[in-house]
Structure formats: C-alpha cells, structure tokens
Amino acid sequence: MSNNDRGVTIWLTGLSGAGKSTITEHLVPMLKARGKKVEVLDGDVVRTNLSKGLGFSKEDRDTNIRRIGFVCNLLTRNGVVAIAAAISPYKAVRQEVREMIGDFVEVYVKASLETCIQRDVKGLYKKALAGEIKQFTGVSDPYEPPENPEVICDTERETPQESAAKIVAYLKKAGYLETNAGTEENFIETEKTENVYLEQELP
C-alpha cells in the first residue's frame, strides 16, 4: 500500500471557538488536492444526527466521542482520511479512541478561554457564564488538554492556513502523504509553509 492509499484519523480537539472547524475547512482541500479521500465528522453536525438525543453529562459526552471514533475507524481502515472536529474534553475517552483506531493523529487546537469568549459568535459562552447553559466545557465543565498531541495549532498565533499546513507537514513526516503529492501551481505557498514546519520538527 502506498502512502497515499493509507487512511488516518485526524482528531482536532479544543475548546468551543478555538478554531477546529475553520482549520478543517482549509485542511480538506489541501488533502483532496493530494489525491486523498476525505470525510469530516464535525461535532455540531454529529450531535444533530448520529448522536441526536444525547445530553452533556460526562457519560453522554463519552458516548458521543465513541460514536465518532467508531465511524472514523471504519473510514480509516478503508483508506479514507477521517477528520473529527469535536471538543472531546476528556483524555481517557480520546485515548480509548486512539487505541481503537491506531492510525490516529491528535491535533490540539489551542486557544485561551478568554480568546474563545471573544470569538463567541454563537453567544454560547455568554449564556454559560450567565448560568443559562449548564455543563459547558471551559466554564462549568472541565477541558483536559492533550499531554502529547502529534500537532499543536495555536490559533492565537497562527492563521487557519498555517495551522492546516502544519497538519499536512506532519502527515508527510509520518508517512500518510506522499512528499511530492499535490499541484505546485495551486499550493506553492502552502508547500513553503509545510517545508518550514518540517525543517523545524525534523532532527
């Protein structure tokens, strides 16, 4: 199996408003341009379909993540790049999903609570801080940051394009993408950014 036929799950975890969905929007076309089959499981979309009816207790949150992980596992073993963009606040269930899938790249989408509150386009933090939403991650429910993620995207310091390019660079280094895959005409700036990250990370 060539590198470009390998499936992998890219798991973006972080607070609401950290930038998971925005990075995903930039990452998908980069991967498709390199010949990858890509499917996205966005936390908000999953909750209205696959996990409809679940609440926000720890048990329900873990069930939601296990369901996303199950689908990602099916996709990954069939050569698809599965991108999960979900808050997934608890370390234990993220580790459980990692062990189930195997080909798993954890991406910590890092942003401070203060920044996420400032970005609060849906007004969810405002409601949570006012006590109108219970068990809200980062306010009244904990978020457990990854200890050893494969990639950290600091969205207070990086553009979404830079964060997506950092993930692509890691996928190349880890053997999930051919190093020469993609069209130079469309992605010359992206390639430059990826090469910078590779130079920084490779010994």
Residues annotated as catalytic (active site), given as ranges:
88
H or E, element range at 24:
helix 20-32
End-to-end C-alpha distance for the chain, whole angstroms: 27
CA distance 26 to 175: 21
With a CB cutoff of 8 Å and minimum separation 6, the contacts of 166 are 151, 153, 158, 193, 194, 197
Q: Name the nearest CA neighbour of 41 among 56, 32, 51.
A: 51
Tokens of residue 40, six digits: 């996205």
Q: Give every CB contact of residue 51 below 8 A, 6+ residues apart in sequence.
A: 63, 64, 67
